[in-house]
Chains A and B, each alone.
Chain A
């Protein structure tokens, strides 16, 4: 068994408004000198630490947990996974 850290990023699907990201972009970043930024999206990240035999199993287990317990709401959110061995 090895220990993995799986980062689960939950963000709104395209088409679902993200007023917090828009405010950070329009009222903070673009009001400064950083005119090359075109979009900011907020997201929530959960960092899972898990013991599994390999990376693939660790990720599929986390995916299963996220689906089963509705860690994200599939109607409005999407998730992505980043995995590292620790």
Chain B
């Protein structure tokens, strides 16, 4: 199983993500520079966190016009699992692959802290190993992490089961405390918190097991045993 980590100018969680995929979950992982195209035989794609193009204009919007995004959009249509974390989530939203938008946090602060997520949808390639309502201790690190959708879109998200993760309590002013969503087909998932910073017990002071299930879900989806 081959996983691609897309690298944009300003990505800074790409190596953490690569390490987790390759060294922790033993996946065949490769970096793909945003100006290149993706190979046809890729099985999953991750858009990592960071500050692509220095968040200029708006977080994720310039990277959303990168050549590789056309390939990501094609693969999204084919049903290939795609995960966007933090800036990767912002890029997925700005490229139209996920609904909503990420605004500056209500506090206007860059927030770097541990939060608790609650699983709302366990039917995606990144959440199928969870129980509904299961909690995930996981760090956030963002300035523009306040997920916003209007009321009509929120109703649609609920109806189509597109809310994947919610914060356990109010964190940054996100609509409906949403921390992660998926597309209608469920194969494209975006989340603001950083699972790649939470899966190893050495750097997770609370409980690393729940975060590992995000990646175990991908393995289960692909029929790979770890």
* Residues in chain A within 8 A of chain B (CB atoms): 16-17, 19-20, 23, 69-71, 73, 75-76
Q: Which 8 A-B pairs have the closest CB atoms?
A: A75-B101, A73-B101, A76-B101, A19-B108, A70-B61, A19-B106, A20-B108, A76-B148
What size tier do the contact residues of chain B reach? 10 to 19
Given contacts A16-B103, A70-B64, A76-B148, 15 further A-B contacts (CB under 8 A): A17-B173, A19-B104, A19-B106, A19-B108, A20-B108, A23-B108, A70-B61, A71-B57, A73-B58, A73-B94, A73-B101, A75-B100, A75-B101, A75-B149, A75-B150
Majority secondary structure, B binding face: loop
Residue on B with the closest CB to A12? B103
A17 touches B106 (CB 8 A): yes
Could you give 5 example pairs across A and B, Cβ below 8 Å?
A19-B107, A19-B108, A20-B108, A70-B64, A75-B148
User: Using Cβ atoms and an 8 Å threshold, which residues of chain B touch A20?
Assistant: 104, 108
The residue from B65, B104, B149 contacting A69, defined by CB atoms under 8 A apart:
B65
A70 touches B100 (CB 8 A): no
* Interface residues as binary, B178-220 with A (CB distance below 8 Å gives 1, 0 otherwise): 0000000000000000000000000000000000000000000
Cβ distance B170 to chain A, nearest Cβ, rounded Å? 14
The distance in angstroms between the C-alpha atoms of A2 and B106, with both chains bound, is 43
The distance in angstroms between the C-alpha atoms of A19 and B94, with both chains bound, is 22
User: Using Cβ atoms and an 8 Å threshold, which residues of chain B touch A73?
Assistant: 58, 61, 94, 101
The distance in angstroms between the C-alpha atoms of A36 and B210, with both chains bound, is 53
The distance in angstroms between the C-alpha atoms of A60 and B17, with both chains bound, is 43
* Interface residues as binary, B2-36 with A (CB distance below 8 Å gives 1, 0 otherwise): 00000000000000000000000000000000000
User: Using Cβ atoms and an 8 Å threshold, which residues of chain B touch A23?
Assistant: 108
A76 touches B65 (CB 8 A): no
Residue on A with the closest CB to B62? A69
B94 touches A70 (CB 8 A): yes
**Candidate in A69, A70, A71 with the most chain B CB atoms within 10 angstroms:** A70
The distance in angstroms between the C-alpha atoms of A71 and B57, with both chains bound, is 7
The distance in angstroms between the C-alpha atoms of A73 and B148, with both chains bound, is 12
Cβ distance B146 to chain A, nearest Cβ, rounded Å? 9
A16 touches B148 (CB 8 A): yes
User: Using Cβ atoms and an 8 Å threshold, which residues of chain B touch A71?
Assistant: 57
Cβ distance B30 to chain A, nearest Cβ, rounded Å? 29
Cβ distance B135 to chain A, nearest Cβ, rounded Å? 28
**Candidate in B101, B106, B149, B173 with the most chain A CB atoms within 10 angstroms:** B101
The distance in angstroms between the C-alpha atoms of A55 and B61, with both chains bound, is 28
The distance in angstroms between the C-alpha atoms of A23 and B108, with both chains bound, is 10
* Interface residues as binary, B55-69 with A (CB distance below 8 Å gives 1, 0 otherwise): 001100100110000
Cβ distance B43 to chain A, nearest Cβ, rounded Å? 30
User: Using Cβ atoms and an 8 Å threshold, which residues of chain B touch A69?
Assistant: 65
Cβ distance A26 to chain B, nearest Cβ, rounded Å? 13
